[in-house]
Amino acid sequence: MTFRAVIALLAVTACGRQEEARPSPPVTATSTTAELALRVSDSVAIWFTSARVDTSAGGSECRERVMEIRVRDRTIPVPLLYTGETPTITTDSTVQVHLWRHCVPADLYRVNLKTGQPTRAGA
């Protein structure tokens, strides 16, 4: 078999009928005004800053929010943790909140109030 024949055979095979993959609905980022979520102490507060619109398995939409820790004049972002619920205080240095996926609470995370670093609870 010649090189051209192999290429032609590959091209024909690649063009065969394929099952249609259904992608997840797109997650849309939205800009929103900052909103106080939780006051931890006189000098520490958790704010929701930006959000994304996501879709549940049933087709309904929700807003999943990003958190930010504000300590006096410092701002500490909480990376990669979108939630649809208000965090709760666990200690004087941590809060906990569920990561949301497609409008459903999933893994529980503890967030360090000094660093903003989320850690999965039980890990």
Task: Find, among 88, 109, 104, the residue nearest to 54 by Cα.
Answer: 104
Q: Is residue 115 in some structural domain?
A: yes
Question: What does the alpha-carbon distance between residue 71 and residue 108 come to, in Å, rounded to a whole number?
Answer: 23
Q: Is residue 19 in some structural domain?
A: no
Q: Is residue 84 in some structural domain?
A: yes
Residues of the chain below pLDDT 50: 6, 9-14, 16-22
Q: Is residue 15 in some structural domain?
A: no
Q: Is residue 98 in some structural domain?
A: yes
Question: What does the alpha-carbon distance between residue 82 and residue 98 come to, in Å, rounded to a whole number?
Answer: 8
Q: Is residue 13 in some structural domain?
A: no
What is the predicted pLDDT for the residue at 122? 81
Task: Give me the domain span that covers residue 32.
Answer: 28-120
Report the predicted TM-score, pTM, of the whole model to 2 decimal places: 0.73
Q: Is residue 83 in some structural domain?
A: yes
What is the predicted pLDDT for the residue at 43? 95
Question: What does the alpha-carbon distance between residue 72 and residue 98 come to, in Å, rounded to a whole number?
Answer: 25
Question: What does the alpha-carbon distance between residue 4 and residue 11 come to, in Å, rounded to a whole number?
Answer: 11
How many structural domains are present in the chain? Answer: 1
What is the predicted pLDDT for the residue at 5? 53
CB atoms inside a 10 Å sphere around CB 111: 22
Q: Is residue 78 in some structural domain?
A: yes
